[in-house]
Amino acid sequence: MTAVPPTRPPAPIRAEALEALLTERGLVNADAIDGLINRFVNDVGPMNGAKVVAKAWTDEDYKARLMADGTAAVGEFGFAGPQGEHIVVVENSASSHNVVVCTLCSCYPWPLLGLPPDWYKDPAYRSRVVREPRTVLAEMGLELDADVDVTVWDSSAENRYFILPERPAGTEELSEDDLAALVTREAMVGVAKVSSPT
Amino acid sequence: MDGIHDMGGTEGWGTVSIDPDEKVFAEDWEGRAFALGAMSGGLSGTNLDAFRHSLERLHPLAYLQDGYYGRWLACAELLLVDSGVLAEGAVDARARNLMGESAEEPADPELAKPEYERGGGGSLREIDDEPKFAVGDAIRARDMHARGHHRMPAYVRGHAGVVTAIRPAAVLPDATAHFTGEDPQHVYTVAFEAEELWGPGAEASTLHIDLFESYMETT
């Protein structure tokens, strides 16, 4: 077996080294790097997807557009960019449950959900959810009845799947903003449901 | 290629749990690694598919030990060295110097960015060919064992499924990752029943996966 470089310097030092080498050659600068980090820490994340979900729950015309052409409908919010070339929205219901994975890497709808969380990138999730989805979902806190249909979506090309969760009971009076606050990242990947407000 | 990245259906990885307090980047260097990885395609004159292929080219032990952003860092370095932007060993030498050692830093090599034609930005393309398959068609995922990059997991190869949707045509990662062209193709979502993939007694479910037209054959 070819040896892995046995004494590689630690990743934080290698990152610093790579950035320094590229900066010295005028190929990157700290502002651009900081800007990209800031975008994914503060501006792009599950709050984007939650706005789409709340709108779809409260506006039937919007929901129809979202289901017909996800990319265009999320674009109405300005949500677009890398890993969002073609958005396909799949609806969860009491009888049909959908869950998304990328077994080959960790493809994820960045413009709607930001960068993927650890569990989505975990070999345990990538390997198992295609083979024993009900067991994995139960492990993650979502027990599904045997009569619920389960569909797993493996994101192996450039289509990015986004789950429209079921609207929870007891939310008829809530505003769009209050509804958005209920929607979790996990529900928009399909490993959880949205809970009723407590 | 067949490798550690192709995890679907493999066993022994343990359980899955959600950390509700997880930060986007657990440590500062992960953010730097993400940004450098995201920029590495442009800086090296390569592309997204070459980046995904570089993940597969990592040693399996490194793939697992490095974690997600450690892999991004390693892949950024790999593509930049491939393209002659940095010399092999340059990052290692600089890192050792940052750690107080006296490592000799190699001179820059000749630039060797890949030369190939792109048909536009992104991965989606308009193509004139009629789709070979229609929604409802019974198909079989080819039993491919390509030595380079492709996007068909081992667990569906050779199995029978049904086309459920025709998606926008896209560049074939097998071609773009190796800079041989784009070979844009129709892309289909195909449904496979759990027992077809995992045998009798499999957990009741349906698997939907996106396959490029050349990955599929009629049954």
Predicted ipTM?
0.97
pLDDT score for A2: 66
**Closest by Cα among B81, B83, B82 to B106:** B81
Residue A96 falls in the annotated catalytic set = no
Residue A102 falls in the annotated catalytic set = yes
pLDDT score for A198: 80
Q: What is the CATH number of domain B1-115?
A: 1.10.472.20
- pLDDT surpassing 70 at residue A182: yes
Q: How far apart are CA A2 and CA A186, in angstroms?
A: 39
pLDDT tens digits along A134-180: 999 999 999 999 999 999 999 999 999 999 999 999 999 999 999 99
Q: Which residues pair with B126 in a beta bridge?
A: none
Contact criterion met (CB below 8 Å) for A50 and A109: no
Smallest Cβ–Cβ distance between A127 and the set B7, B96, B168 belongs to: B7
Chain A (161-190) residues lying within 8 Å, Cβ to Cβ, of chain B: 186
The domain locations on chain B are 1-115, 138-218
Q: How far apart are CA B73 and CA A44, in angstroms?
A: 22
Average pLDDT, integer, range A46-71: 98
- Supply A69's token pair: 């052409």
Return the C-alpha torsion angle B10, B11, B15, B21, nearest 10.
Answer: -30
Collect all residues with Cβ–Cβ distance below 8 Å to A195 and sequence separation of at least 6. Answer: A168, A182
Q: Low-confidence residues of chain B, pLDDT below 50?
A: none
Q: How far apart are CA A142 and CA A59, in angstroms?
A: 28
3-class secondary-structure state, position B199: coil
- Supply B213's token pair: 């037209």
Q: Classify strands A159-164 and B138-141 as parallel, antiparallel or unpaired.
A: unpaired
Average pLDDT over chain B, rounded to an integer: 97
pLDDT tens digits along A112-127: 999 999 999 999 999 9
pLDDT score for A46: 98
pLDDT score for A6: 61
What domains lie within chain A, and their CATH numbers? Answer: 11-42 (no CATH), 45-189 (3.90.330.10)
pLDDT band at A5 (very low <50, low <70, confident <90, very high): low
In A, minimum Cα distance to B2 occurs at A104
**Interface with chain A: mutation pick from B10, B27, B28, B32, highest number of A CBs within 10 Å:** B32
Q: Which residues of A touch B155 (CB under 8 A)?
A: 103, 130-131
pLDDT score for A1: 61
pLDDT score for A3: 63
Q: Residue B218, class by beta-carbon neighbours within 10 Å (0-12 exposed, 13-18 middle, 19+ buried)?
A: exposed
**Closest by Cα among B11, B170, B164, B178 to B82:** B178
Q: What is the CATH number of domain B138-218?
A: 2.30.30.50
Q: How far apart are CA A158 and CA B68, in angstroms?
A: 20
What Cα–Cα distance (Å) separates residue A67 from each residue in A72, A90, B80? 10, 7, 40
- Supply B2's token pair: 């067949």
**Closest by Cα among A27, A4, A114 to B31:** A114
